[in-house]
Structure 1
Amino acid sequence: MDSAHRLRPVIMLLLTALLLLAFLLSLALGAVAIHPLDTVRALGRMLGLSQVAPETALIIEHIRLPRTLMGLLVGATLALTGAVMQGLFRNPLADPGLIGVSSGAALGAALVIVLGSWLLASLPASWMPYATVGGAFIGGVITTLLVYRLGQTAQGTSVASMLLAGIAIAAISGAFIGLLSYIADDTMLRTLTFWNMGSLGGANFERVGVLALCCALVWWRLPRQAKALNALLLGESEARHLGVDVERVKRELILLTALGVGACVAAAGLIGFVGLVVPHLVRLMLGADHRRVIPASMLLGGGLLLLADVVARLVVAPAELPIGILTALLGAPFFLMLLMRAQRRGGL
């Protein structure tokens, strides 16, 4: 036990170092490789501390920096909400998508992409990307509120009912997305396909700014519920005896997860398995205490998504592999491994 306690600060330090390394690699690597020292100088140039070649400054400041910041925000937020959902459901296989946020956001984006040409005909064409982001966010929020309403029972909020409602809503959203894909033209279908695959390629400072505002609220509130999540691990009745307002905590966790995941899907499309895999890896390293799991998940989530984005940029260069495909290829086998492990232990 003493050895495990001594290792925890070391693990947190390593996770921080991994995030910093991933941040630097994300700025330096791509179709045009930039030396790490030039990357640091380009960052220093933004602060008036150093000089670098104009073309290098252009690539770093206007292309890779917003993309890297978006990857950090998305990865950390998905991992944070995944850790919270696993604590709330008391199940290591839980994922933020279980409450229907991702599917609802994808449906909102699909509606704008396919029907926006006549629904938003009065808007300038340059507004369409922002309309797509707004549609995704609104779709995620509406879906979450619907799932939350369906999860209400006479005894309060039923997590099991919400799980079933989320699965049903995801199936309905998938059916409508399929219908929209059927009636879409070639351009719309291509846009819709890449949205559903997930990508950080559309990052810009405006979109990162909106995402950062949403994530700031989620990052501020969810870690404050770490003690309540620890109590919920014992069961809802036990948590009530420990003084936790279970209904209020569940409501806050669900709505903040909707905000965080909805904003991430709106900004970057569907990126799966980050919220599932990262918190589980953190629990293997640090145990189940959410006071450690939550910050460690945010560090590891941001770092891993940035590394995945670097691989996605390099593996088929000069083209780019959608990052959602890469995370699915890595995350799905991990999910199956967890599932088989749970079955061997006698169930989930």
Structure 2
Amino acid sequence: MKLLICTTEYFPNGAGIANVTYNIVEKLKDLGIECTVCSPTGPDIKLGNDSLIQKTGIVGLLYYWYSVSRYFKNNDYDVVWLQNPFILTDNPFKRCLVTMHSTYYGSSIYGVGNLPFNLYKSVVAHSERYCLTRMHPNTFFTGVGIPVCEELEKIGIARDRITHIPNGVDTRLFHPSPDKISLRNKFKIPENDIILLSVGRLTHQKQPHIVIEVFSRLQKEIGDVTLCIAGKGELLEETKGLAKKKGLHKVLFLGYVDDQDLPDLYACADYYIMASNYEGGMPPLTLAEAMASSLPCIVSDIPQLRIVKMAECGIMVNFEDTAEQFSKIREYISSDNESHSINAREFAKENLDWKSIAEQYHKEFLRMTDLKD
């Protein structure tokens, strides 16, 4: 099978989409599939402009997908795999699988960000709908979360053309460690504190300010607790400023942590915390990594994070209610959560390993090779 993969980001550049696509491609190669990856940074075919995407958002995305539609006007690939496409011109692909990692429609209806940002999302959501609903009838869709699948249906995609395939994790790479002390020394994290870990871009949807507010009260009542925040983003300086304003001396901003060091960072923590009000993946990649690392999870009570309840590996909190969130989290981290730690790891191994996720995609590709143009 000759498979073309078109994506606006690919490892080692990019974030979530790059991570998912790369890991699936590597497993597909193990299955004997001939994969060609096209992105602004390659590795096989370079189209579009990565800097333009970073600076202008939708303008850069539209330019990339326009370049794709022109470059592949004539092609002989058996199946094409598109990641969050924005092909507004004629789509040259007659047999393609579209994977949506999130939708602008979903982001806009959940009210992520400030008013101007929301208006921008709403406008882009109309273009997204136009692009997806005019795809060739042989196009099938997957969503990395059930909510994303539901959003696709609301956009106008027939339910029988949509499949849920979750995000995954390398369970051999992300795993618990018996030697947390040495790993904490590596990151200059207090050896004997309870460590809460947050990983990901500091954006409006992640609500890092809420995590700071919660930790502010925890630090006052539980002295031996440290919050580690790994990641950058538009709210990084604002979040640092809030922590400084509140006099929080046990908040460590680790910045960007290299992929090769991430497994050790998870392994030296005690709990994972996520206060997002919207996520595309179910689970988000960082939550899958935390679970594989045996971390009990403290997450916001939104549909995309209910995998924590399914796996019985943590608690779901209403982060809009300050009193409830604080008391519930305080009680949780003061309890014995060994069973949640075990459940997290077992669920990740049984359901989220990249090998099994890749096999689900493989089945979709095989189904599509039987379709007529």
- TM-score bin, normalised by smaller chain: under 0.3
TM (norm. structure 2) is: 0.26
TM (norm. structure 1) is: 0.27
Higher-RCO chain (CA-CA 8 Å, sequence separation at least 6): 1
